[in-house]
Amino acid sequence: MATPNNGDTVTIDYVVKKSDGTVVGSTEQHGAQDIRLGGGEIFPQVEQALTGMSVGDHESVAIPSDNAFGPRQDALVIDIPRANLPPEPAPQPGMAMQAQSPDGQPLTLYIVEVGEESVKADGNHPLAGEDLTFDITLREIKQAA
């Protein structure tokens, strides 16, 4: 049976789980996903597994947190005075805000706590510090032209 190569586009179904079994993403929510192998569109460990699979094969790929979204960094949890925020929309836990890191790079902050005078925001990716498992099924291979 044929297996995909770099440059090929594959269609996969997947379920992504944290180490405690909590599902954090799946194609049930978004539909099957097309990925061009070698394009950096998915974790390298998943790409590597896909290159050895045939249509219909299932594989589980473990990705330690250091190779996923990295470790949590306490320095990325900051307090922001409410006076520095626009009045609308009112800050709510879970709300995303765009900011700039000290080196000028864009940074997404997630509000984790709202107080009278300030909000606590977290610049870590929501899955930072989490080991992940991708359960993947290869549905189709579209050979590169």
Residue-wise pLDDT for 33-57, tens only, equals 999 999 999 999 999 999 999 999 9
Cα separation, 56 vs 128, in Å, equals 31
Average pLDDT on 80-105 reads 88
- Identify the architecture of domain 74-122 in CATH: Beta Barrel (2.40)
Which of these CATH numbers, 3.10.50.40, 3.40.50.1820, 3.10.180.10, 3.40.50.2300, describes 9-65+130-142?
3.10.50.40
Q: Is residue 1 over pLDDT 80?
A: no
Exposure string of 93-132, with b = 16+ CB inside 10 Å and e = fewer, is eeeebeeeeeeeeeeebbbeeeeeebbbbbbbeebbbbbb
Q: With beta carbons less than 8 A apart as the criterion, state whether 93 and 112 touch.
A: yes
In one letter, which amino acid is 9?
A: T
pLDDT band at 85 (very low <50, low <70, confident <90, very high): confident
The domain spans of the chain are 9-65+130-142, 74-122
Q: Is residue 104 over pLDDT 90?
A: no
